[in-house]
Chains A and B, each alone.
Chain A
Amino acid sequence: DVVMTQSPLSLPVTLGQPASISCRSSQSLVYSDGNTYLNWFQQRPGQSPRRLINKVSNRDSGVPDRFSGSGSGTDFTLKISRVEAEDVGVYYCMQGTHWPLTFGGGTKVEIK
């Protein structure tokens, strides 16, 4: 199985400051069609997960442009340019290239 390793586990951030979350996969996520199926999800307290980013860097509809994704191969990053109070929650990366699909362990973003 592809292991997805996220860091840090916890990320205290000052409002208005940037935040960055790393996600590494144990093998390449490039699919046979040439796409890299790496997704990012946000789960606010008490809510269902919401997809923010698909295929490494494509923001989903309605996602604020302060969220951005980057990376390639096995190394990926989610960045929040200026953290707002509504960004508090747990963020997960997920690979959709190989079966079984696998998630990272999550990064908890909180306000300092």
Chain B
Amino acid sequence: EMQLVESGGGLVQPGGSLRLSCEASGFTSSNFQMSWVRQAPGKGLEWVANINQDGTLRFYMDSVKGRFTISRDNAKNSLYLQMNSLRAEDTAVYYCARDRQCYMWGQGTMVTVSS
């Protein structure tokens, strides 16, 4: 069964850092672009970042450029999101999704930025 499992969320103070992970199983993630999408409490979906199959091309939404870094380790079938200089407005459930068209999603991991 194909599955994506996120981890690494938690409570962090403004200005702090977190690293999210997403482990893929049931398929070879290196064959696909991968994305991060977030959802603030009670709000809609917002695309955050995307990485191509070999990690050489990365795209970000404007508000996270320079603060967030998407990466992957194909040997581990894993995707990451390093989040620095976190702000209250980054509070959200973060989902990883397979490919640019978000074919499948994980269960999400909650990130809360608060003092």
Rounded to whole angstroms, the CA-CA distance of A103 and B37 in the bound complex is: 10
Partner of A48, one of B50, B60, B62, B95: B95
Q: Does A45 contact B (CB under 8 A)?
A: no
Proximity bits, B88-115, A CB within 8 Å = 1, else 0: 0000000100001111111110000000
Asked if A54 is at the interface (CB within 8 A of a chain B CB), the reply is: yes
Cβ of A48 to closest chain B Cβ, rounded Å: 4
Chain A residues near B105: list those with CB within 8 A.
Answer: 48-50
Residue-wise interface mask of B (28-63) relative to A, using a CB-CB cutoff of 8 A (1 in contact, 0 not): 000000010100000011110010000000011110
Closest chain A residue to B104, Cβ basis: A51
A38–B47 alpha-carbon span in the complex (Å):
14
With both chains docked as a complex, state the minimum distance between the C-beta of B64 and any C-beta of chain A, in angstroms. 10
User: In angstroms, how far is the closest chain A Cβ from the Cβ of B7?
Assistant: 15
Contact of B103 among A51, A102, A106 (CB under 8 A): A51
Q: Tally B residues with Cβ within 8 Å of A.
A: 21
- Asked whether B102 lies within 8 Å of A100 as measured between CB atoms, the reply is no
User: How far, in Å, is B109 (CB) from chain A's closest CB?
Assistant: 11
Contact residue among B45, B95, B101 (Cβ-Cβ distance under 8 Å from A37): B101
The answer for the CA separation of A96 and B47 in the assembled complex, in Å, is: 10
Q: Which residues of A contact B47 (CB under 8 A)?
A: 94, 100-103
Query: Contact: A92 with B102, CB < 8 Å?
Result: no
| Interchain CA distance A54-B62 in the complex, whole Å | 25
Distance in angstroms between the alpha carbons of A53 and B51 in the assembled complex = 22
Known pairs A101-B100, A106-B45. 9 more at Cβ < 8 A? A39-B101, A48-B108, A49-B45, A50-B105, A51-B103, A94-B47, A96-B101, A100-B60, A103-B46
Q: Which residues of A contact B (CB under 8 A)?
A: 37, 39, 41, 43, 48-51, 54, 60, 90, 92, 94, 96, 99-106
